[in-house]
Structure 1
Amino acid sequence: MANYILQEMADGMANKKKAPYPKMQTYTMFDYAQVIKRIHTHSPAFSEATIRGVIDTLVETVIDVLPMGHNIKIDGLGVFSLSLGFCDSPDDKDKSSYRHVNARSVNFKVDKNLLKTINRQNTFERAEPGVKRYKKLKTTPAQRLAKALEFIEKNSQMTLTDYTIITGLSRSGASQELKRFTSDPTSGLTTRGSHAFKVWVKR
């Protein structure tokens, strides 16, 4: 059984009204090792080492193929494509001046059959009554960045969960904000590792 809550969020309209939206109730995040064990449970004929090798090779294939201008489609899962962005700010005097470009994100478009299967196998039930109110943060991005750097100074590194705890942001909000920080070379923040092993450290 899957659970959800009703979360009040700004709907983005000019009148600033807020409307409740269903939001998945998330209890934990499966790390790489847990995913491998889960796959092994479903397909015990494949050893955990074999499964790890296949997933690692898939990641390497994504890294190799996407920059070549190809998207990757995995039947039953979805399509992966590369998103680009500018590394620097445009020159105000010359908007057409040369600018550096890099990979900004990897987009994922889910296979519709995956959603159909999830809906067929699950019933979504409300986890708690009422609507979870949207809380306006009392801190600025600059203040949250300072908290992150202070945390890293004491602990040498910071996880996404750490950042949600010290700032009060949701996981998605924290992830987006950290992406903005790391794309700014003056923030003093960068990443190490990838996927479930990604941490943030001082630049």
Structure 2
Amino acid sequence: MAKYKLQEMGDMRYDGKRRVYPKMVTNRTLSRKEFVKMMQNYHRGISESTTEAVLTDVVDMLTDMLSMGYNVNLEGFGTFSLSLAFEDEKPREILNPDDKMTYRKVGVKDINFKAS
């Protein structure tokens, strides 16, 4: 069973209100090898090498599909999408009405995951 603790948030708005939110207490982060071993214990009918190969293929396909502009929804698991950010030093605001900002260097900032 997952455990949590209640943690107090700092008064960011300076309104004097103390806010509390739940924070997950994680045991540790499992490596891919450990995850595959646990899957092997869960479903013994599939070999460990097959499980490893399928997991590796899922990661490769997610990377390929996201880089081609697709969002990926794995029903029962969640949806993956990319988050973008500017990678240049140009201002983020349009300072001049004639500025079309036709060119900006944009790159991947993060991968978003929304659990099902």
Q: Which runs of 5+ in 2 are unaligned?
A: none
Q: Which has the bigger relative contact order, CA under 8 A and spacing at least 6? A: 1
Q: Does 1:102 align with 2:104?
A: no
User: 1:128-139 maps to which residues of 2 (within 5 A)?
Assistant: none
Q: Does 1:89 align with 2:89?
A: yes
Write out per-residue CA displacement over residues 166-196 of structure 1, whole angstroms, 9 at most, x where no aligned residue.
xxxxxxxxxxxxxxxxxxxxxxxxxxxxxxx
Q: Does 1:52 align with 2:57?
A: no
Q: Which amino acid aligns with 1:109?
A: K
- By how many angstroms is 1:101 displaced? 1.0
- By how many angstroms is 1:67 displaced? 2.0
- By how many angstroms is 1:16 displaced? 5.8
Write out per-residue CA displacement over residues 131-170 of structure 1, whole angstroms, 9 at most, x where no aligned residue.
xxxxxxxxxxxxxxxxxxxxxxxxxxxxxxxxxxxxxxxx
Q: Indicate how the Cα distance of structure 1 residues 95 and 13 shifts in structure 2: closer, same or farther if over 3 A, else same.
A: farther
Q: Which amino acid aligns with 2:23?
A: K
Q: Indicate how the Cα distance of structure 1 residues 71 and 44 shifts in structure 2: closer, same or farther if over 3 A, else same.
A: same
Q: Which amino acid aligns with 2:109?
A: R
Identity in percent: 38
> Is the 1:84–1:103 Cα contact (8 Å) retained in structure 2?
yes
Q: Alignment RMSD, CA only?
A: 2.1
The structure carrying a bigger helix percent of its residues is: 1
Q: Partner of 2:27: helix, strand, or coil?
A: coil
* Aligned mates of 2:68, 2:27 — CA distance in 1: 38
TM-score (norm 2): 0.82
TM-score (norm 1): 0.49
> Is the 1:10–1:17 Cα contact (8 Å) retained in structure 2?
no
Larger radius of gyration: 2
Q: Does 1:62 align with 2:26?
A: no
Q: Does 1:78 align with 2:83?
A: no
Q: Indicate how the Cα distance of structure 1 residues 73 and 19 shifts in structure 2: closer, same or farther if over 3 A, else same.
A: same
Partner of 2:33: 33
Q: Indicate how the Cα distance of structure 1 residues 10 and 97 shifts in structure 2: closer, same or farther if over 3 A, else same.
A: farther
Write out per-residue CA displacement over residues 92-144 of structure 1, whole angstroms, 9 at most, x where no aligned residue.
78682622111111111110xxxxxxxxxxxxxxxxxxxxxxxxxxxxxxxxx
